Copies of this chain bind each other. A is one copy, B any other.
Amino acid sequence: MSSRVLIVGRFQPLHRGHMRVVSDIVRGSRSIILGIGSAQHSHTPENPFTAGERVEMATGALREGGVSDFYVVPIEDINEHGRWVAHVESLVPRFSSVATNNPLNQRLFKESGYEVVTTPLYDRARYSGTVIRRRMLRGRPWKALVPAAVARIIDEIDGVARLRQLAGKDV
């Protein structure tokens, strides 16, 4: 347990930038927990995919990447920051450190005694959920930016058409 690392993100969708962070952690022989944040949100232009779809995508991507010691857990937002760490702790396996670049998460987990590490960003101009969703909306190529399992599931659920309709585009 002592070397298990938690990462929390919305993963709308999970992309190759995320996978690089995962690889760095796993290379250190550490177990990893992917917390699927904002789990209650879906069907909006910023959050097109449901928590269940994101669990399926993340699990597929981790298996595809040869990672075996992982957990994928949806986490609903609570808007009471004073209880956020306890909320996360109650939902995921035990962990000892948190990888995050978000100032709020950095502060809250540090106040609760966790080791907090920042993660390097890999080519944010390409590997970013915002960029990928924008490419989907504009009909530009996006599949090379995500693991193959993610692209396959988005196809199966007709995800690009959903996103375009939610954004008020003709389908």
A residues in contact (CB < 8 Å) with B: 1, 39-44, 50-53, 55-56, 59, 71-74, 76, 79-83, 85-87, 89-94, 103-104, 106-108, 111, 156-157, 162, 165-168
Inter-chain pairs besides A82-B89, A86-B86, 15 sampled, C-beta below 8 Å: A39-B91, A40-B79, A40-B90, A41-B80, A43-B82, A44-B81, A51-B91, A52-B73, A55-B91, A56-B93, A73-B73, A82-B86, A83-B83, A103-B168, A107-B166
Closest 5 pairs (CB-CB, A-B): A82-B90, A86-B86, A56-B93, A43-B81, A40-B80
Given contacts A73-B74, A83-B83, A104-B166, contact A90 B156 (CB under 8 A): no
Task: Give the secondary structure class of A's interface.
Answer: helix
Ordered by A's residue number, 26 sampled pairs between the chains whose C-beta atoms are within 8 Å are A40-B80, A40-B90, A41-B80, A41-B81, A42-B80, A43-B81, A43-B104, A50-B91, A51-B91, A52-B73, A52-B91, A52-B92, A52-B93, A53-B93, A53-B94, A55-B73, A55-B92, A73-B74, A74-B74, A76-B76, A83-B87, A103-B165, A104-B166, A106-B165, A107-B162, A111-B162
Contacts of A42 in B (CB 8 A): 80-82, 90
Contacts of A53 in B (CB 8 A): 93-94
Contacting pair B166 A103 (CB below 8 A): yes
A151 and B167 alpha carbons, distance in the complex (Å): 36
Contacts of A43 in B (CB 8 A): 81-82, 104, 107-108
A31 and B25 alpha carbons, distance in the complex (Å): 27
Contacts of A89 in B (CB 8 A): 50, 52, 82
